[in-house]
Amino acid sequence: MSTKNITFIAIVSIGLILLTQAYLVVDYFQTVRHALIRESDAILKEAFRSELNQRTLSYKISVGEDTLKTVPKEDEDKVLNFDMRKNGVEDESILNSLDLVMHTFLSEFVSINIHDIDSITGPILQKRNIHSKYLVQIVNPKTEEIIANSKDIAKSSFLIIPSKLYPLDFENKQALQLILINPFSEIMRRMGLMLILSIAFSVIALFAFQFLIKILAKQKKLVAFKNEFLSNIAHELKRPVTSLIVNLDCLRMPDFYENEKMREMMLNNSINSLTELNGTISMIVGLAKVEEGLLVLNKLPVDLVKLIDEIKARFISSPSKKLTINAVYESPEMIITADKLMLTQCFSNLIDNSIKYSSATVVIDINVKFTTNSVVLNFQDTGIGIPPEKIDNIFDKYSRVDNNVKVNGFGIGLNYVKTIIEKHSGSIGVTSELGKGSNFKIVLPKR
């Protein structure tokens, strides 16, 4: 499946997950809202009945139905706490009708007191753990006109939970309503866990999506890289092969073959091409071996003076630019224990880079010194230098500096050098100044 398709599927999936989460949150909010409305209905009824009982009591007192004008406290409590359910009336609609009849009858003598209902509502809400602002109002159910309200709280509030209208007459002209204003804490209490889980799930999904996109981008980069790497590698291998073919082809011609100077030069060129080819192949194989943990060093005594002079001679014999290589050794013989072939590849690589990343003229100064247990080699060139922001990455595999210089390469040379030097328990570092040159410092243990 292509990266584009995977990205598309991932975007659709994350969209669906977020939409589902949003739907679940909204749906749950509606459920909580309806539950609060049902609870408001019950609270309003309870408050209204309490207020009705109070009015009944006042009425009885006013008309002198009780023999005592002052009702004893326990009797008043009995009336106020009169619960019809406990007294055998079960059906809610019958209760409502009874309330309505009672209210209609009482209203002629003691009118409804919305402020009393309000003050009764407060404790009921507290008892049910609902801590929000509220008001009680009488409205006209047909016109929705507010006839009276218990408080002047602006109703332009963000969230309003109105109870159902509780009829106050048979003509449907007045109805009682309880309104909860901004009951956020209550809603959060009821749907807090759901919200937290939903947000956590969405955040995880978004992180997973971001991670996937990063991996896809990395994969895309890797594919582009692999293609560029393969084309560069093909080019790097083809160059010495082409040069070899040209030189050997010339040697077949008697004119060239019989001219000793020419023959010598062409044979040298051919050997150099083969050495270059061998070096590139060894480097690729070497890095693959390191990755698989199969690289084994063939450590033997190596004279660095001899080794560097040989490499130097090879570069000087077929210079592609105006090249000077100066080598300064601390002593005429500098023997260390190392893998000769691999060190040859490393030093050749550094010199090759100094030539590649320089203008038409280049001077390379090689300095070799012993310390107590190690040898320090400095390869200083007068090349184009490395930009400071890129210098930390140049030893990374496939890392190339885009320095406007059209030079062949595939970014494994320095990585190979570092790998081999570290395999010898040594280290490599670089300092560079743009436009002036670079210095590669290698420290290797003597044995």
Site residues (vs ligand ADP, CB under 6 A): 353-354, 357, 381, 383-386, 394, 399-401, 403, 409-415, 438
Q: 148 - beta bridge partners?
A: 138
Q: What 3-state DSSP class applies to 436?
A: coil
We find the least distance from the C-beta atom of residue 382 to ligand ADP, in angstroms, to be 10
Nearer to ligand ADP, 202 or 403 (CB): 403
We find the least distance from the C-beta atom of residue 349 to ligand ADP, in angstroms, to be 6
Which is it for the CA torsion 272, 276, 282, 285, positive or negative?
negative
Residue found by looking up tokens 């309000």 in the block: 118
Tokens of 60: 């009885």
Nearer to ligand ADP, 183 or 413 (CB): 413
Nearer to ligand ADP, 32 or 283 (CB): 283
> Residue 375 and residue 162: Cα distance in Å, rounded?
88
Nearer to ligand ADP, 77 or 392 (CB): 392
DSSP state of 304: H
**Helix-helix angle 304-317:260-292, to 10 degrees:** 120
We find the least distance from the C-beta atom of residue 345 to ligand ADP, in angstroms, to be 12
Burial of 147 (0-12, 13-18, 19+ CB in 10 A): middle
Nearer to ligand ADP, 334 or 350 (CB): 350
Nearer to ligand ADP, 63 or 360 (CB): 360
Residues in the chain: 447
Answer for the pair 338, 424: CB distance below 8 angstroms, yes or no. Answer: yes
We find the least distance from the C-beta atom of residue 200 to ligand ADP, in angstroms, to be 45
Residue nearest ligand ADP by beta-carbon distance: 409
We find the least distance from the C-beta atom of residue 290 to ligand ADP, in angstroms, to be 15
We find the least distance from the C-beta atom of residue 202 to ligand ADP, in angstroms, to be 43
- Number of Cβ atoms within 10 Å of the Cβ of 281: 13
Answer for the pair 334, 445: CB distance below 8 angstroms, yes or no. Answer: no
We find the least distance from the C-beta atom of residue 213 to ligand ADP, in angstroms, to be 29
Nearer to ligand ADP, 228 or 330 (CB): 228
| Contacts of residue 344, Cβ cutoff 8 Å, sequence gap at least 6 | 307, 310, 311
> Residue 115 and residue 107: Cα distance in Å, rounded?
15
Nearer to ligand ADP, 149 or 380 (CB): 380
We find the least distance from the C-beta atom of residue 354 to ligand ADP, in angstroms, to be 4
Nearer to ligand ADP, 103 or 400 (CB): 400
| Contacts of residue 24, Cβ cutoff 8 Å, sequence gap at least 6 | 194, 198
Burial of 408 (0-12, 13-18, 19+ CB in 10 A): exposed
We find the least distance from the C-beta atom of residue 277 to ligand ADP, in angstroms, to be 15
240 φ/ψ angles, rounded to the nearest 5 degrees:
-65, -30
Distances in whole angstroms, Cα of residue 118 to Cα of each of 41, 60, 123 = 14, 23, 10
